[in-house]
Amino acid sequence: MQTKPQAKYLKDYQGPSHQVASLELTFDLHPTKTNVKAKARYTATDEQTSLRLDGVDLNLLSVSVDGQPFEQYECTHEHLLLSGLPKDFELEIETEISPQTNTSLEGLYLSGGTYCTQCEAEGFRKITYFLDRPDVLTIYTVTVIGQQSMPHLLSNGNQIESGQLADGRHFAKWHDPFKKPSYLFALVAGDFDLLEDEFITRSGRKVDLVLFVDKGNLTKAPHAMASLKRAMEWDEKRFGLEYDLDIYMIVAVDFFNMGAMENKGLNVFNSSCVLANQQTATDRDYHTIESIVGHEYFHNWTGNRVTCRDWFQLSLKEGLTVFRDQEFSSDLGSRGLNRIDAVMAMRTHQFAEDVGPMAHSIRPDKVIEMNNFYTVTVYNKGAEVIRMMHTILGEENFQKGMQLYFERHDGCAVTCDDFVAAMQDASNVDLSQFKLWYEQIGTPMLTVETEYRAQSNTYACSIKQKHAQNDPIQSPLHIPFAIELLDKSGHALPLIVNGERVSKVIDVTQEQQTVVFERIPERPVAVLLEDFSAPVLVKYDYHLSELIHIIAHASSDYARWEAAQQAFQLEVFKGVEQFNSGSDITLASELLDTFSMLLRDRRGDLALLAELIRVPSFDTLSSCFEQTPVDALNTCIKRFERNIASQLVEPLKQAFEACEESGELTHDAVSARALKNVCLYYLAMVADDKVTKWIDNQSESDNMTLKFGALKAAFNAQLPTAEDAMANFDSQWRHDLLVMDKWFALQATQIGEQAIAKIKSLYEHPCFDKSNPNRVRALIGSFARNNPEEFHRIDGEGYKLLGDLLIELNAINPQNASRMLTPFMSWKRLDEQRSKLMRAQLERLSQLTDLSDDLFEKVEKALG
C-alpha cells in the first residue's frame, strides 16, 4: 500500500547524522542482476547509534558491520534503518539491481546496449543504500566488472587498475581524488568510438580529453570537442578557473532525461547535445551543443568543487552555471542575440511558470519530488538573479566575489546565502535587500510614467514596483533598472541627474521612485529595462511610433528586438479586438514599412534582422493576457504572417537573393542562413514559380539548416510539394534518429481535420519509441508547444492526445512524464470550455492508482 507522497521543507534542514570517510563500490554488471557492493567508513556526528540510509527499488543481499554479518536492521520502502551501531564503523552492503528494466533513466540503466547512470538529484539511492544527500561528500573508489563486449568500463577520476578475469570478463578500477556527493557519481560501460585530444592548462598541466560516442559517429564528434576546449580556455581567461583532474571524459548516450550531467570527470550527455555535422545538425544545434558542453564543464567549479548543501539550494549551482554559460556564448558569439535567446526563454516559459500553480522562488522551500524543480525558474531566473548581482557590482567586484566564494567554500556544500555573503564581503556592496530575490515568487511589475518638461529641459521618470499576488514578499525589492533616452536620430543622450553624469542603471529600491534627468533638449524616446536588466514586467504606454523609432535607430541589438516584440504586442492587442468585432486583422502599415526598409537595407547583423521580423509565438504572446484568447491569437498570428508575406514579397525576395552564405559556420554565414530561412518561411505563403524553385533547390542542400528551413517553409505553407518532401526526408534519414526528431517535431505542427489522427499514427513509425525522451519531446512536446491550433482544439482531442500519453509515460518514465505535463499547468488561463477539458485530463491522471510522485505533485497543485 503506497502512502501519499510527503513534502520536505527547507526549514526542517538538519545536517547529516554521519560523515563518510571513503566509499568503495564494486559493480558486477548484468542486465537484470547487477551486483553492487558498497563498503564505506561511517562516523557518527554525535552520540547517534542508528543510521538511516536511502535506498529505492533495491534487492538487499547482505549487510555487514566491521567485517561481521549484521542483522539489526529494518528495510522499508525507501530506507534501510540500522541500529546498535558503534560511533565509527565500516559498513558493507550488497544489493542487486536490474538496469535493463529500469526505464526511469535514473540510477543505473541500459541505454541501447550501454550501461550508464544518472544520479542527480536522488538517483544514487536506486544503486545502493547510502546517505544520498548533497552535503555528504566522500572519496570514491569504483571497480567495474563487465563483459569483453564492453571494452570501456568508466567511472569518475583516474583509472588506477584494469585487467582480465578468469571467467573471460574484465574489470577497471577508478579513483576520484576529489570528495564528492553521491549525485556526481557516474558509471558507464559499453563499446564506443573515441575522439581523443588534449588541453594544456594555463599552469602547464596536460589534460586528456576523451569523447565516447556510439560506433560510427566519430564524424559527428569534433564540434563538441572543440567546444570543450573553448570552454576550458574561456573559464581560465574570464574566471581564472583551471581544470583539476588529468582526464575529462564525455559520453554520449541516446536515452537521457535532460541535456547533460556534470558528473566529476565523466560527463554523461544526451547524444542530441553532442553529435553534429553540417549534414545532420542545424546552426541552432551547433549553438546548443557549444553552450551545454560549456555548461557542464563550468559546473566543475560551480557545482562540483563547491556544491549545494541541500536541494533547495539548487540555484546556487544552476543559476550561477547558466549565467556562466550565457557569458561564454556571449563572449564567443553575439552578445545581443544570446541575450535575446535568454530573454525569450524568460518571457515565454518562466513568466508562464510564475502565473501557474507551480510558481516558486528560485530557492524553493517545499518540495515533494526534487526532479520537478529543475525548472526555468531555478535555472533561468536563477541566472537572471546572478546577472543582476553582476550588474550591481560590476565585473571586477563580481570576480572578486567569485574568488572569495572559492577561497571560503572549496570542497564544501553550501547555501545561496553563502554565495551572496561572498559577493557582499568582497565588494562592500550591501546586498541585504537584494537577497529578497531568493524568496520572492512571481514576476514583479514595474509601472513607469514619464514626463517631459520643455521649460526646464528635464525628463522625469517615475517607477512604481508591485509584487505578484502570490508573492510572500511584499516589501520592495532592489531592482537594477536600466534606461536609455534616445534623441531624434536614435543616439543615446547622456544621463545627468543632479548635475552629475549617472550610469544607465538606476537602483530601484523603493516602492515608488522618481528620477529626473536633466539637460534633455527635446522629448526623448525611452528605452526601458534595457538589456532586460531585471526579470520583471514593465508597464508603460508606448506609442507604436516610439517603438518603430527604437527598431529603426537604436544602436543596441537587444533594444531593437525588444521594441519589435512590444510592437507586435500592441498589434496583437489591437488584433484581438478586431477579431472580437469581426473586422479585418492587419498589421500597422508603419510597422510593415519599417520591416520593408530593414529588409532592403540589411545593415548590421542579419540574424538580428531575422529575429526582428519574426512574429512572436503563441506562447510568448499569450503571456501578455490574463486569459488566453486562443482563437483570436491563432488568427492574429496567421494574419500577421500572411500580411508580412503578401505586403513584403519584393523586399523578402531581395533579401533572400542577396544573402550570400558560404556554407561555413562563421557568424556571418550562420546569420545569412537564418535570414534566408525566415524569408523563405514567409515567401512560401505566397509562393510563385521562383519561390517554389528556391524551396525545391534548398530542400536538396546538404546543409541541414538550409534543407530543414526549406522543408519547414513548404510544410507550414502546405505547398503541394510538401508531402513528397516530407516522405523523401523520412526515407533519407531513417537511419539517424536525431535527424528524424526534427521531422517528428515538424509533423507535430500539422493542422487540419486529420491532424490528430496523423500525429497519433506516428507512434507506429519505426523510429518512434515512447521510452526515449528525445522522441517523445520531438513529437508530443512539439505538438503541445508549437501547434496551438490543434492542441487547443475545442473538441478536446488535443488535450486527450497528451493525457493518453501521460498515462503511459507515468509508468515508463515519471520524470519525463512530469516535464511533458507542463502545458496542462496553465488550464486556468483558458476560456471556460477549454479549461474544463484540460482539467478533465488532469483529473484522469489524479485517479491513477500508481501515480508517480513526480506527477502527483504537479497534478495536485494544478487541481488544488
**Residues of the shown chain interacting with ligand TRP in the complex, contacts defined by CB under 6 A:** 118, 120-121, 257-258, 260-262, 295-296, 318, 371, 374
Task: Specify whether the CB–CB gap between 453 and 445 falls below 8 A.
Answer: no
Cell of 606: 542579419
Cβ-based nearer residue to Zn ion, 318 or 484? 318
Cβ-based nearer residue to ligand TRP, 373 or 791? 373
SS3 743: helix
CB of 349 to ligand TRP, least distance (A): 16
Question: Which of Zn ion, ligand TRP, none is residue 120 near (CB under 5 to 8 Å by kind)?
Answer: ligand TRP
Helix axes 544-553, 557-580, angle to 10 degrees: 150
* Sheet strands side by side (includes 525-528): 505-508, 479-486, 525-528
**Integer Cα distance of 460 and 495 in angstroms:** 12
Omega before residue 276 within 30° of 0, cis: no
Of 112, 123, 258, 284, the C-alpha closest to 773 is 258
Of 378, 603, 398, 584, the C-alpha closest to 480 is 398
Cβ-based nearer residue to Zn ion, 262 or 611? 262
CA 13 to chain centre: 28
Contacting residues for 44 by C-beta, under 8 A, at least 6 apart: 17, 18, 51, 85, 87, 88
Question: Tell me, what DSSP letter sits at residue 688?
Answer: -
Cβ-based nearer residue to Zn ion, 307 or 450? 307
Residue nearest to ligand TRP (CB): 258
Question: Which of ligand TRP, Zn ion, none is residue 789 near (CB under 5 to 8 Å by kind)?
Answer: none
Cβ-based nearer residue to ligand TRP, 20 or 260? 260
CB of 260 to ligand TRP, least distance (A): 5
Question: Which of Zn ion, ligand TRP, none is residue 361 near (CB under 5 to 8 Å by kind)?
Answer: none
**Integer Cα distance of 143 and 162 in angstroms:** 9
SS3 815: helix
Main-chain phi, psi angles of 359, to 5 degrees: -50, 130
**Integer Cα distance of 377 and 358 in angstroms:** 10
Catalytic position from the list 24, 106, 122, 296:
296
Main-chain phi, psi angles of 164, to 5 degrees: -95, 150
Q: How many residues does the chain have?
A: 864
CB of 112 to ligand TRP, least distance (A): 18
CB of 193 to ligand TRP, least distance (A): 24
Residue 142's beta-bridge partner residues? 25, 174
Question: Which of Zn ion, ligand TRP, none is residue 313 near (CB under 5 to 8 Å by kind)?
Answer: none
SS3 300: coil
Q: What character string, x for contact with Zn ion (CB under 5 A) and - otherwise, covers 320-339?
A: -x------------------
CB of 134 to Zn ion, least distance (A): 13
**Integer Cα distance of 818 and 530 in angstroms:** 35
SS3 839: helix
CB of 350 to Zn ion, least distance (A): 16
Cβ-based nearer residue to ligand TRP, 371 or 716? 371
Cell of 552: 529603426
Cell of 724: 513528397
Q: Is residue 296 flagged as an active site residue?
A: yes
CB of 395 to Zn ion, least distance (A): 22
Question: Which of Zn ion, ligand TRP, none is residue 374 near (CB under 5 to 8 Å by kind)?
Answer: ligand TRP
Question: Which of Zn ion, ligand TRP, none is residue 327 near (CB under 5 to 8 Å by kind)?
Answer: none
Neighbours of 797 (CB within 10 A): 15
**Integer Cα distance of 839 and 455 in angstroms:** 58
CB of 296 to ligand TRP, least distance (A): 6
Task: Specify whether the CB–CB gap between 775 and 741 falls below 8 A.
Answer: yes
Cβ-based nearer residue to ligand TRP, 328 or 579? 328
Cell 563498503 belongs to residue: 39
Cβ-based nearer residue to ligand TRP, 295 or 363? 295
Omega before residue 655 within 30° of 0, cis: no
CB of 464 to Zn ion, least distance (A): 36
Question: Which of ligand TRP, Zn ion, none is residue 54 near (CB under 5 to 8 Å by kind)?
Answer: none
The size of the interface with Zn ion (CB under 5 A), counted in residues, is: 2
Question: Which of ligand TRP, Zn ion, none is residue 534 near (CB under 5 to 8 Å by kind)?
Answer: none
CB of 321 to Zn ion, least distance (A): 5
DSSP states along 748-774: TT--STTHHHHHHHGGGSTT--TT-HH
Taking contact as CB under 5 A, which single stretch among the options 100-108, 148-156, 314-322, 574-582 is the one that binds Zn ion?
A: 314-322
**Integer Cα distance of 118 and 396 in angstroms:** 37
**Integer Cα distance of 30 and 39 in angstroms:** 20
Of 393, 772, 653, the C-alpha closest to 402 is 393
CB of 378 to ligand TRP, least distance (A): 10
Cβ-based nearer residue to ligand TRP, 119 or 674? 119
Question: Which of Zn ion, ligand TRP, none is residue 258 near (CB under 5 to 8 Å by kind)?
Answer: ligand TRP
Of 49, 25, 53, the C-alpha closest to 133 is 53
Cell of 631: 482563437
SS3 353: helix
Question: Which of Zn ion, ligand TRP, none is residue 179 near (CB under 5 to 8 Å by kind)?
Answer: none
Cβ-based nearer residue to ligand TRP, 188 or 633? 188
Cβ-based nearer residue to ligand TRP, 262 or 310? 262
Taking contact as CB under 5 A, which single stretch among the options 251-259, 319-327, 561-569, 665-673 is the one that binds Zn ion?
A: 319-327
Active site residues: 296
Q: For binding to Zn ion (CB under 5 A), which residues are involved?
A: 318, 321
